[in-house]
Structure formats: C-alpha cells, structure tokens
Chain A
Amino acid sequence: MTLALAVDIGLALLVLAVAGWTIAVRDTFAAVIGFVAYGLLLALVWVRLAAPDVALTEAAVGSGLTGLLLLSASARLRHAKTSAAPPGPVLQWAAGALCILIAAGLAALVLLLPDPAPTLAPAAVAHLPATGLGNPVTGVLMVYRAIDTFLESVVLLPALLGVWSLASEGDWGGAPILRHPRPDGALTLMAQVLPPLGIIVGVYLCWNSADHPGGAFQGGAVLAAMWVLALLAGLVDAPPIRQRGLRVLLVAGAAVLLAVGLAGIGLAGAFLAYPEHYSKPLILAIEMALVLSIAVALALLVAGPPVRTPS
C-alpha cells in the first residue's frame, strides 16, 4: 500500500466519521460545527481528486458560508421558544428511510457507471483555445454552460428576497444588523488587518480563474467574508436594503451576463454565444460584475433580514 493510498483511505474514513457524528449529535450548534469540519475535509478530498476548483468552492461556499448561515440560524433558534413537539417516530423513520434510499441510489449510480465513464472532458479541452481561456472548468462555466452560471447568479436573488421577507412590516427598507455583542479588542484588530489581504485574495481568485483554479463564486465568498468580518467588528454598518446603489450591485452580475448573452444573438448567432476574438475580455467583464454581485448577495444573506426601521 502506497503512502498516498493510506492518506486517501484515512481521509475517506475521517469524512464518514465526521458525517456520522454530525447526524448523531443532538445539539444544533455542535452539528453545525461538525458540518463545517465535514466541508473542510470534503475540500481536501476534492484536492486529492485533482479538482482544485471544486475544492475551493466547497471550502468557501459549501463549508464556510453555508456553515456561517447555519450558525446564525442556530443562534436565532436558541432564543426562539421551542414549543413545537419533536417529530414522531413515524416521521423520523420515514425521513431516515428516504435518506438511505437517496444515498443507495447515488451509490448505485456511481457503481453502475460504465468503465471508462462517459466524459465530455476531451471535447471541452479540445475547444478551449477558441475561448481564450486556459482553465477548462472556467471554460465550462462561462462558455459551454454559461446558462447554468446565469441561473446560479439569478437564484441568489430570490434567496436574498426570502431572507428579507422575514422582516417585520415597519422594518422593510431598513438595514440589517450583524454585530458581535462587544466588538472590541482582538476582533477589531482582525477586522482591520485581514480585509486588505482578503480583498486581494478574493479579486485574485476571480481574476485569475481564466487560467487557474478559482472563479466568481469562490472570490465572491472571500470578499463577502471580509465584509461580514467588518460588520461583526462594528467597523461598518450594513446599508439599508432600500438603497438603490446596493440593489444595482446585487443585480449587476446577472444583468451583465444577460446583456452579453442577448448581444450574442445578434453578434454571434446564439444566446450566450461570444463573438470571436472577444470572448476572453467579455468573460472577464462578466466575472468581475458577477464577483461583486455574489459578494454583496452572500454577505447580505449572512446579515439577515432588516431590523432597523428606516429613518
């Protein structure tokens, strides 16, 4: 057994153990911590599978940001009255059976795949030079399946509207508050020192994604984290959600992508087709708009519904 195989087996066992623990643990807070650890381990698994793009997304969005959302949800639930009775045994067994069914179905699909599995990877790489990109993952996301990326960037907006709709009647249009109970000392220092570095990393992840692992979602998540940090430390206040500039920023990414896509009908003969020789600058422009929109949307998702009555 080679050393790499031993590491892989250990990693797989660790992922399974943490997943089992996350399900078994009774406390919501502990389960969220388990989920974050599980996501970070999963990112390592993706690195071992030579998929650094997926690893970055898993670490930034899957583990980091989703973990943060779950953490704030569990904090809110702690203050809420637990009046609802726990689900009865029938519902619990039904949920368990459904989960097992889905897991078994997925496992069967993976095991029943023909060997070698059908793949579009060679075709994707073969046509990559025409896009001006060097990273095949970005090629798939921004060229071959740009419609998926468009829908992904749009779906953040209804999610954010869903969070905002939890606001009380009088608070609509106000600002969300996300602040540590006593933001001083170490947290302030961190929120002052880290954002300059984090902003560089976030922009780098997006800008560099044409040729290297990264992308708008990974970069956006890092930028969002920096904003959330500054909000937590009380260095900045969240803007009121009625602010026009904020809303323009939120839709900018999807709007730019849609505009380029529609222009593609006239200039390149198809929706979301790029005119020849202009694909790379167009893709970079789209990604830069996307990273801003994603960063703002993700940070506002964490910040929660507006609570401050507009003055």
Chain B
Amino acid sequence: MSFVLDLFTMGAVLAGALFFLAGTVGLLRFPDPLTRLHALTKADNLGLGLIVIGLLPQVAWPLGAFKLIAIWLMALFAATTISQLMARAARDGEPVR
C-alpha cells in the first residue's frame, strides 16, 4: 500500500513540477503582461496544487494535511489578488515590469 502511495506522490509532484517549468517558460517567453500572468497562474494553481495533493499521503493526518491545504489556499488567494492588481494596472497602461 505504501508503495502505491509513494508512486502516487512521485507522479503528482512530478506533474506539479512540470507545471512550474511550463509556467516559468511562459513567464519568460510570452509577449505581454496578461499572457505572462496567465502562465504564472498555471504554476500557482495547478503546479502547487498537484504538489500539495502529492505530498498529502506523506504527512501526518490530520494536522499535517490541513497545514499543507491551508498553505495551498493561502498561496492561491495571494496569487489571485496579485494577478488582479497587476492585470488591472496593465490594462490601464500603468508601468508594469
């Protein structure tokens, strides 16, 4: 059973890492702020989410699992807010770097 769980962890974390890689490539290659934000949110939402899901079988239930999920939700919340602010600034033509 633990072998299957380990396999699940490896698969999910690897998939998450892939999303981070893709997001980073997008961040570096995409032409304008909105598309770059789009690439970045994939890494935040899916990449981190997959890594958290993958790590869930490896931590103590329930406290460790709750901590991981809380971290994921906080990161999602922060990333969403920042994306909104940056996208609005980009739309209004304020200097975005």
A interface list, Cβ under 8 A from B: 27, 29-30, 180, 182, 185-187, 189-190, 193-194, 197
Contacts and interface: CB of A to CB of B under 8 A. Distances in A.
Nearest to B70: A197
Given A193-B77, A194-B77, A186 B97 contact: no
B84 interface: yes
A190 B73 CA distance: 13
Interface of B: 74, 77-78, 80-81, 84-85, 88, 97
A187 B83 CA distance: 10
A190 B97 contact: no
Nearest to A29: B97
A187 B84 CA distance: 8
Contact of B97 (A27, A180, A193): A27
A185 B81 CA distance: 9
- Which of B77, B81, B88 has its CB near the most chain A CB atoms (within 10 A)? B81
A60 B77 CA distance: 19
17 contacts: A27-B97, A29-B97, A30-B97, A180-B85, A182-B88, A185-B84, A186-B81, A186-B85, A187-B81, A187-B84, A187-B85, A190-B77, A190-B78, A190-B81, A193-B77, A194-B77, A197-B74
Nearest to A198: B74
Main secondary structure of the interface of B (DSSP, over half): helix
A29 B96 CA distance: 11
A193 B78 CA distance: 11
A301 B52 CA distance: 36
Contact of B81 (A30, A182, A189): A189
A186 B97 CA distance: 20
A194 B73 CA distance: 12
Contacts of A194: 77
A31 to B, nearest CB: 11
Contacts of A30: 97
A190 B85 CA distance: 11
Contacts of B97: 27, 29-30
Contacts of A182: 88
Contacts of B77: 190, 193-194
Given A30-B97, A187-B84, 4 more contacts: A185-B84, A187-B85, A189-B81, A194-B77
Contacts of A190: 77-78, 81
Contacts of B88: 182, 185
Contacts of B85: 180, 186-187
A30 B96 CA distance: 11
A178 to B, nearest CB: 15
Nearest to A194: B77
Nearest to A190: B81
A186 B88 CA distance: 10
Nearest to A189: B81
B91 to A, nearest CB: 12
- Which of A185, A190, A193, A194 has its CB near the most chain B CB atoms (within 10 A)? A190
A249 to B, nearest CB: 28
A186 B87 CA distance: 11
Contacts of A189: 81
Nearest to B80: A186
Contacts of A29: 97
Nearest to A181: B94
Contacts of A197: 74
